[in-house]
Structure 1
Amino acid sequence: QKLPQKGDVELLCGGPPCQGFSGMNRFNSREYSRFKNSLIASYLSYCDYYRPRFFVLENVRNFVSFKRSMVLKLA
């Protein structure tokens, strides 16, 4: 199938894993959690590329406090 082009996407909806940002995760410094955190950046790169009118991203409280709101600034 043909992939959509820039400007063709109205909505992106994603829920990338966010265990590394969760206060409930006791293992957030491990490599696996860092990998899962990188999936959020991957999702946001799709948003940046396609520039949809709307996008949905699951929210975790620590998005606001992690490295001075860096996740939200990327969004």
Structure 2
Amino acid sequence: MKKLILKSHVLFLFATFSAGLYAVVPLEGEAEWEAFNQAEEQRLQTSNTDARKTIEVLRREAEAKREVLRQEARVTY
């Protein structure tokens, strides 16, 4: 006795498998949005911290960063 593979059976199996994958593996777009949201939260925390610092502290930090960049530029050239 020959068994028939119906198109509806194939579609059902494919849909079931796909639904299982989506339940386990996040969609590509969801992963990107999650990373975006985490980066935004970190940026807001950083900006809140910077808002509390005095201008002089921010200037010293910026100068220190520039000095590091100058030294890196000397090493690479």
On whether the aligned pair clears a TM of 0.5, the verdict is no
Which structure has the bigger radius of gyration?
2
Name whichever structure is richer in helix by fraction.
2
Q: TM-score w.r.t. structure 2 length?
A: 0.29
Name whichever structure is richer in strand by fraction.
1
Q: TM-score w.r.t. structure 1 length?
A: 0.30
